[in-house]
Structure 1
């Protein structure tokens, strides 16, 4: 019977997240992760084909963990505005309870070596992006917001705005204030409330 591995993959990824939070993606190397958990470097190569695979797994696991709760929040109510408010709160609350993982979202997938990812990792990333786009389109439709302007309004309300609140504090190295969830929810609700005419009027030439 094979001896159980001393170093589990989640343990290695947790160490990689801590390194990324401390030093950015450039701090995540095979040798650095191995040293962080006291593992031989070879144990990393048993689980990850190389550094690009390690970076891809760090990014994708973080994003997928975040998105699981985010989509659940969006779908938590039959009232689309309530779902949007819940999603905004989730962004802030998740970032508060997962500060290291949230710090990774200050970067982008290209900072985590996107150009060198395997087809499998690229597919996982695209599936997540498709799910986000579909969720935004569904929310816009449920709110009666049509066209590109309506989609942009919803995306700003339930993604960009609450993330900007989180990023401002993370960039400054400050903890999120106690009122951050309420503030994000109120701002999101204000954007989701209003008329259904989301497309700007055309300008007629003289």
Structure 2
């Protein structure tokens, strides 16, 4: 019987986020040092730095999506504003989401990151499709496109410039995203 693990996967991922926040980069040695763990314990859980960052990315996406789905259940404009609010509350995770695209991770680690990566966006896509049909009816061929533009594409475009600059989304964006999303939703 082996020793119980001293650090959880989340401990390593949180340390990586802290490194990213403080230094703008992440190394295995820095993560291990932050936790007071040997480098080998990081490699025991993650085969590489990139694999650790990919796992951190997936965890961040799931956290974001959880809040987005809750916001969409309350109000569509709340869902549109969720991206901005979440990015302000979780600036390091928001910037970490700029590291990868889901398609890149699927191509690089199709088996290691698990089947959940293939279906990572399924719940959000389903919720958006359901909302589109509920709001516009089943016969509107542009309903889902309109909803995705209003609730996903506009907020993402609004916050990207600030995130890439290392800044939280400007508060003034809330009003602009609300106006744009409301106009697109009609």
Aligned to 1:198: none
After TM superposition, list the pairs within 5 Å mapping 1:1-206 onto structure 2. 5-20=5-20, 27-76=25-74, 83-109=75-101, 113-119=105-111, 121-144=113-136, 146-147=140-141, 149-193=142-186
Deviation at 1:3, TM superposition (A): 6.2
Deviations 1:157-201 (A, max 9, x none): 0011111111121223333333333332222111111xxxxxxxx
CA RMSD of aligned residues (A): 2.8
CA distance, structure 2, for counterparts of residue 56 and residue 68 of structure 1: 18
Cα pair 1:89 1:184 within 8 Å, conserved: yes
Secondary structure of 1:143's aligned partner: helix
TM-score under structure 1 length normalisation: 0.75
Any runs of at least 4 consecutive aligned residues in structure 1 with deviations exceeding 6 A, and if so which? none
CA distance, structure 2, for counterparts of residue 38 and residue 98 of structure 1: 25
Secondary structure of 2:169's aligned partner: coil
CA distance, structure 1, for counterparts of residue 99 and residue 178 of structure 2: 24
Unpaired runs of 5+ residues, structure 2, are none
Deviation at 1:68, TM superposition (A): 0.5
CA distance, structure 2, for counterparts of residue 87 and residue 144 of structure 1: 17
Q: Aligned pair in 2 of structure 1 residues 139, 22: CA closer, same or farther (>3 Å)?
A: farther
Aligned to 1:79: none
Q: Compare CA radii of gyration and give the structure with the larger one.
A: 1
Unpaired runs of 5+ residues, structure 1, are 77-82, 194-206
Secondary structure of 1:156's aligned partner: helix
Deviations 1:100-125 (A, max 9, x none): 00112223336975433252624212
Secondary structure of 2:120's aligned partner: helix
Q: How many residues align?
A: 184
TM-score under structure 2 length normalisation: 0.82
Q: Aligned pair in 2 of structure 1 residues 141, 17: CA closer, same or farther (>3 Å)?
A: same
CA distance, structure 2, for counterparts of residue 136 and residue 184 of structure 1: 18
